[in-house]
Amino acid sequence: MRYSDCNKTLRENVMKSYELASASQEKLNAVVTFADVEKQIEETIQDETLPLYGKPVAVKDNISTKGIRTTASSRILDNYVPVFDAAVVEKLKAAGATIICKTSMDELGMGGTNLNAYTGKVNNPYDLSRISGGSSGGSAALVAAGVVPMALGTDTGDSIRKPASYCGVVGFKPTYGRISRYGVIPYASSLDHVGFFTTCVEDACVTLKCLAGRDDRDMTSSYEPVGEYDKNLNSDLNGKKIAVLDNVLSSIKDERIVNEFHQLMKKLEDRGAVIVHVTMDENLLQTLLPVYLIIANAEACANHSNLDGVRFGMREEGNDLEEIMINSRTKGFSSAVRKRFVLGSYSLFTENQEKLFRKAQKVRRVIVDSYTSILKDCDCIVAPAAATVAPHENDSVDEKMSDTYLVAENHMILGNMAGTPSLTLPYTFIDGLPVGVNVSAKAFDEQTVLNVAKAIEEETQLEGKCAEV
């Protein structure tokens, strides 16, 4: 579904999506909580000139919604109902959108499969036996199934862009600070981005324009002016220098994905683009996942120290305060999340900080410098977004230090470490399953990302494509 498909009245659009979400729940398991749409319809400003007027949307369940349960797909927050809206939710409502539901995610954003959500696995709309990807898998699945034209997500490693590849939709993580994170349950503060899913690049332009901008409640949000992304959308590639990251291609074992990618690059070259092949130090790229896990999980330990079963959230009984906290956190978190907390805590021990956490920060700086040096000499960098189509549950390679997938499955972490804008969109189908290509550019150059993505979309003719569920 595209924004342009929402051409009925507000009530008709919203109720249609709400019914589709309800009907698809048994197959997709993508929804955690359904919203009160009738109340929202009554409260919506009746102004058809608003950019998102009459548009039904879904919101990832780590984004605060006033009066609507927000669990981050964790048992420990199963009863948490915020008393305020996140900044992005405020902006959605101000633009005329209606929230129909909160979407499933990897618990607290910690994962890349959407397998550890408290409510269970999210299924891929193109093959229900396969994963949607994570952590924003519920949002990706609903957009891919045509339930909503847009859904919010968050991206700490590749948590929007990997599900976008697996589910065959547009997934966009803009520059760090471009969209306010006020009201978003954090994972890792130096890596977290708010972004979104759509079924076409033009809708991504409209969405970014609505959500971007400075917010004094989030001191990391940027003062950079918000562009007219939709009006300035231009797919002319004549003279554009596009860098292909060869490290990724050489680590992908499925030759069909590589061959389809080369064919796409030839089409862009025929449109006037200058294609150059670049490589990064392979040792640096192989440190991406370890460095990410150290930094992200150390920051997560600090961010989630308040989830103790005492101040708010689910509480387990105990004989004293310490026992209550131990019982609540033990039963409140999945084993996958507890593992990440152990890793994060270990790297923050006083005796380990210099040799683990501080060292990881220094290596991150070296990685970012190497990456941004490539961007200085080109307009954007492109590479396949994933090494495979969406895997089956038991075939997932989430966090495995495999030589085969260490680079190809994790290279999009570069966009989080550097804070640069990065977008994934489908470029082909293999065995009936979508495969995505990733486009990244310099900080705050979202327009170039969108323009190149538009050219790719014109070549693939996959704009607005949705799965039949």
Among all chains, which residue has been given the structure tokens 């152990």? 342
Contact 316, 332 (CB under 8 A): yes
Annotation marks residue 159 as catalytic: yes
Secondary structure (DSSP) of 400-444: ---TTTTTTTTTTHHHHHHT--EEEEEEEEETTEEEEEEEE-STT
Sequence-ordered alpha helix ranges (H) in 29-130: 37-43, 87-94
Task: Name the DSSP class of 230.
Answer: T
Distance between CA atoms of 23 and 28, rounded to whole angstroms? Answer: 9
Q: Is 196 helix (H, G, I), strand (E, B) or coil?
A: strand
Question: 263 CB contacts (<8 Å, ≥6 apart)?
Answer: none
Say which of 17, 24, 55, 60 is annotated catalytic.
60
Give me the catalytic one of 74, 159, 222, 347: 159
Residue 363 tokens read as 């290596």
235 catalytic? Reply is no
User: For residue 374, how many other CB atoms are within 10 A of its CB?
Assistant: 17
- Give the residues across from 217 on adjacent strands: none
Q: Which of 24, 64, 104, 135 is catalytic?
A: 135
| Secondary structure class of 69 (helix, strand, coil) | coil
Q: Which two tokens stand for residue 133?
A: 């990807």
* Edge-to-edge strand list for the sheet holding 150-155: 31-34, 98-103, 56-60, 150-155, 193-198, 170-173, 422-430, 433-440, 380-384, 241-245, 274-278
In the residue annotation, 60 being an active-site residue is answered as yes
162 burial class (0-12, 13-18, 19+ CB within 10 angstroms)?
buried
The residues assigned a catalytic role are 60, 135, 159
